[in-house]
Chains A and B, each alone.
Chain A
């Protein structure tokens, strides 16, 4: 494509840069103020780099606030959901994509109903159900619903990937006398790495950041995940913006790092989910 100088081109470049500033600067501002004290944030130096790096804000956020607990809860929930959803959906997708039985297509289409239902619509019955199953006041009260809700997307992506693999893979294994489970885990799974990582990233991000269900289910402080634990604006940190900023930066690090390391995979995982609505 030729790159002549033109007014249009300059305008479009300007716009790209301006929006990059709009998109990034609030975050940079947050990182900056996480190193400042109130005097500096409000009066002396609201916009620029901190004059002194007050890393004590971070120590304070980590120690005097239950951040380690929230972190642990978020991690436990994410790992448990990943384990349950991936196991269930790999087995289900394999059965519907490669095994032969009556109604396999109907069954698969049935699970795609979940793609069209926003989770908050069934918040009320879920709360009642979790209470009746005696899961309330445990992390299972969010793990099980999250796992169930991520099935539809996970099955859809894995089904697509499984359909594109050649059947010769199983033939070789079958002649060697392996049963279907051994074959699935030894032969098929190594060929599904791309699809599995897409699904895993999507599930991790959506579980890590989920708010609505966690708000209803996790009322005890000991059980809160990060998005809930950070709801401290009306709480003890109101007056200390620096420590508050530090806590928010710490809480954001895992997903931002994940994104910076695997940016293309993350973008793909997020947008594939949009394209099925």
Chain B
């Protein structure tokens, strides 16, 4: 039996394909990004090391600050709208019948499985200044609120963030719902029997028990905001001006439009550091102990 489990060539054959693929396509590129972030390279000619020049240039680049602000705003929309709304929906669904629940789950989750292109084009037509769903809706309600949502420099980033929020609401909803469903019902019922209102019972009992799930929701929402790219690329092209640029967009422009691979790598390095930092902070602050139901 021992022999069965430890023939060296068996192990090598099993481990090697995955390991080689992973090393070449994931680990090696990560290393390269960091190295290139200290260099100037156009992708063809030999690379020149320039030390911290790229980083200095980045911190002087006004688009960098626009991108930072947009990443933060995007994350903020998800944080203050998506997570609370998903929580309320998840808790409300808890006391519905089986068939209603199934219908609601499916209708909330369907946008999540669509491709980002379909979702963005759908919303492009919904936001359309002349014939879009939203402006026509306002018109039908007799409100004079018609405007071009995606070309206003302040409305654009929010309009885009709302699309992302709409698409992934079902995702956050399902995560919170499954976690809330797993909380033993007697905790909540004991509180209600003691004269606590439903809302209060959820607020003081169910929600604190979901903290581990909130940790994941938060990380997904915030890193999702920092990483946003495809929504902007499809819906506004980064515009008006640079008003909907994000860090990924900045990287994309530097590397693939201007051929500055070194500078693009610098942006990528800053982006990954930012994501790791956010994950670390949330891991330290939220749900430090594991909850086990016995």
Contact = CB atoms under 8 A, between A and B. Distances in A.
Interface of A: 1, 3, 6, 8-9, 12-13, 15-16, 19-20, 22-24, 26-27, 29-30, 33, 41-42, 46-47, 84, 87-89, 91-92, 94-96, 98-101, 107, 111, 113-114, 116-118, 120-129, 144-145, 147-149, 151-152, 155, 170-171, 174, 179-181, 205, 208-209, 211-212, 215-216, 226-228, 230-231, 233, 241, 244, 248, 251-252, 255-256, 258-260, 263, 266-267, 270-271, 274-275, 277
A129 B29 CA distance: 8
A124 B265 contact: yes
Nearest to B118: A248
A253 to B, nearest CB: 10
B189 interface: yes
Interface residues of B, number: 101
Contact of B175 (A179, A226, A266, A275): A275
B74 interface: no
Contacts of A91: 13-15, 17-18
Given A126-B25, A267-B174, A212 B230 contact: yes
Q: Is the interface of B mostly helix, strand, loop or mixed?
A: helix
Nearest to A254: B113
Nearest to B15: A95
A122 B11 CA distance: 30
Given A42-B131, A155-B18, A180-B7, A16 B124 contact: no
25 contacts: A8-B198, A13-B96, A19-B85, A20-B107, A23-B169, A24-B107, A27-B122, A88-B21, A91-B13, A95-B10, A116-B276, A120-B268, A122-B29, A124-B36, A124-B261, A127-B255, A129-B25, A151-B22, A252-B114, A256-B110, A259-B106, A271-B171, A271-B175, A274-B171, A277-B279
Contacts of B15: 91-92, 95-96, 107
Contacts of B131: 41-42, 46, 241
A22 B29 contact: no
A211 B230 contact: yes
A211 B116 contact: yes
Contact of A271 (B18, B174, B276): B174
Q: Is the interface of A mostly helix, strand, loop or mixed?
A: helix
Interface in B99-113: 102-113
Contacts of B265: 124-125
A260 B113 CA distance: 10
Given A151-B18, A252-B118, A266-B113, A101 B25 contact: no
A5 B135 CA distance: 38
A148 B26 contact: yes
B115 interface: yes
B68 interface: no
Contacts of A29: 126, 133
A87 B248 CA distance: 32
A251 B89 contact: no
Interface stretch (B55-63, B153-161, B219-227): B219-227
Contacts of B213: 275
